[in-house]
Structure 1
Amino acid sequence: MKVLQHALSQLLGDARLVVTPLPGTDLSLWLIDEQNMDRAFSPEETRRILEQPPYWGFCWASGLALARFVAEQPHWVAGKRVLDFGSGSGVAAIAAAKAGALEVVACDLDPLALHACRANAALNGVKLSYSTDFFAEADRFDLILVADVLYDRANLPLLDHFLSRGHQALVADSRVRDFQHRSYQRLASLQALTLPDLAEPHEFRHVSLYHASRSEHTAFSNAL
């Protein structure tokens, strides 16, 4: 926690990480205190946040929605090997572990995100494994979880790669809610909000959940 709190203090001065219960779940995360977000940021703070955004200090709406989905439908992960891509705070990974996954790997490029995943896993009493490189992982996972990754359209090509490491993928997103991809079918429409609340447009509380299966992808490719 000291590493995370120091990194946050470098960005936002007196901001603190506090244990925050997540609505609609039995989970809690170390998140940026809501009071600190309810103020005007100085130009220097704004610059630092834009250059080094502390994604790991928030529970983004799509991550919360995916965590709830996994908790309510544990058959997606129970007894399976799961990788959470772009894990951030680790909320989806932790939900999968709590729902009975055999193994859960939290994968994120940002070392601070993996620090957050460790702290949050300990807070919730679960064990995770960790990775900084999705493409260095073997093709051994039953399910790839993905939340809040498509906010940057430059990440859309990643959709072609998730099934290279897992037999199935669940992708939750509120930014590009109706993307078209031959391998992915819209599975559900979910509701959630980001914590602490960033007063985002209401549309970002509507989360679309997509599913892809390697077997269906292979059958489609062979039919072409």
Structure 2
Amino acid sequence: MKALQEALGELLGDARLVVTPLPDTDLSLWLIDPANMDRAFCAEETRRILEEPPYWSFCWASGLAMARFLAEQPHWVAGKRVLDFGAGSGVVAIAAARAGALEVVACDLDLLALAACRANAELNRVTLGYSADFFNEADRYDLVLVADVLYDRANLPLLDQFLSRGREVLVADSRVRDFQHPAYRPLAKLQALTLPDLAEPWEFRQVSLYHAQREG
């Protein structure tokens, strides 16, 4: 926690992490204090945030929606080996572990995100594995979970890669309105908001869930 707090302080000097209960779940996460978002940022703070955004200090709407979905429908993960791609705060990985997954690996390129996953796993009393390199993972997973990764359309080609490591994929996204991929079918429409609340437009609170399954 100390390293996470120090990293956040380097971006926003007065920012602090607080334990935040997630609505309509039994989970809590270490997230940026909402009071730290209720002010104008100076130019230097804005530059730092844009260059090194602390994604891991927020619970994004798609992640919260998928966490609720797994709690309501645990059969998707129960007894399975699961990888959470772009884990961020770890909310989806933690929800999968809570829902009875045999093994859950939180995967993120950002080492601070993995540290946040560890802190949040401890907070929620679950055990996770950790990986900083998806492509170094073996093709051994029953399910790959992907939440709030397609905010950058440059990440869309990753949709072709997820089935190379898992037999099935669940993708939660609130950004791509023209989502089309032959391997993925719409599964559900969910609603959630980002915490702390960024006052995002209504459409970003509408989360679409997609499912893909490897052939053969």
**TM-score relative to the length of structure 2:** 0.99
Match of 1:184 in 2: 184
Deviations 1:135-192, CA, capped at 9 Å, x for gaps: 1000000000000000000000000000000000000000014400000000000000
Matched, 1:116 2:133: no
Match of 2:154 in 1: 154
CA distance in 2, matches of 1:47, 1:161: 32
Match of 1:2 in 2: 2
Specify the code of the residue in structure 2 equivalent to 1:170. Answer: L
Shift of 1:114: 0.1
Gaps of 5+ in 1: 219-224
Specify the code of the residue in structure 1 equivalent to 2:112. Answer: L
Gaps of 5+ in 2: none
Deviations 1:176-218, CA, capped at 9 Å, x for gaps: 1440000000000000000001111111000000000002xx5
CA distance in 1, matches of 2:177, 2:101: 27
Match of 1:69 in 2: 69
Match of 2:205 in 1: 205
CA distance in 2, matches of 1:92, 1:156: 20
Q: Quick one: structure 1 residues 177 and 63, their matched pair in 2 at CA, closer, same or farther if it must change by over 3 Å? A: farther
Specify the code of the residue in structure 1 equivalent to 2:131. Answer: S
Specify the code of the residue in structure 1 equivalent to 2:170. Answer: L
Deviations 1:30-88, CA, capped at 9 Å, x for gaps: 00000110110111100000000000000000000000000100000000000000000
CA distance in 2, matches of 1:178, 1:157: 14
Deviations 1:2-45, CA, capped at 9 Å, x for gaps: 00000000001111000000001000000000011011011110
Match of 2:95 in 1: 95
CA distance in 1, matches of 2:54, 2:46: 12
Deviations 1:81-127, CA, capped at 9 Å, x for gaps: 00000000000000000000000000000000000000000000000
CA distance in 2, matches of 1:183, 1:89: 28
CA distance in 2, matches of 1:27, 1:155: 28
CA distance in 2, matches of 1:51, 1:213: 36
Specify the code of the residue in structure 2 equivalent to 1:213. Answer: Q
Match of 2:28 in 1: 28
Q: Quick one: structure 1 residues 177 and 27, their matched pair in 2 at CA, closer, same or farther if it must change by over 3 Å? A: farther
**TM-score relative to the length of structure 1:** 0.96
CA distance in 2, matches of 1:84, 1:69: 14
The RMSD of aligned alpha carbons is 0.6
Match of 2:138 in 1: 138
CA distance in 1, matches of 2:19, 2:168: 32
- More helix by percentage: 1
Q: Alignment length, in residue pairs?
A: 216
CA distance in 1, matches of 2:200, 2:13: 23
Extract structure 1 runs of 4+ deviating beyond 2 A. none
CA distance in 2, matches of 1:161, 1:122: 30
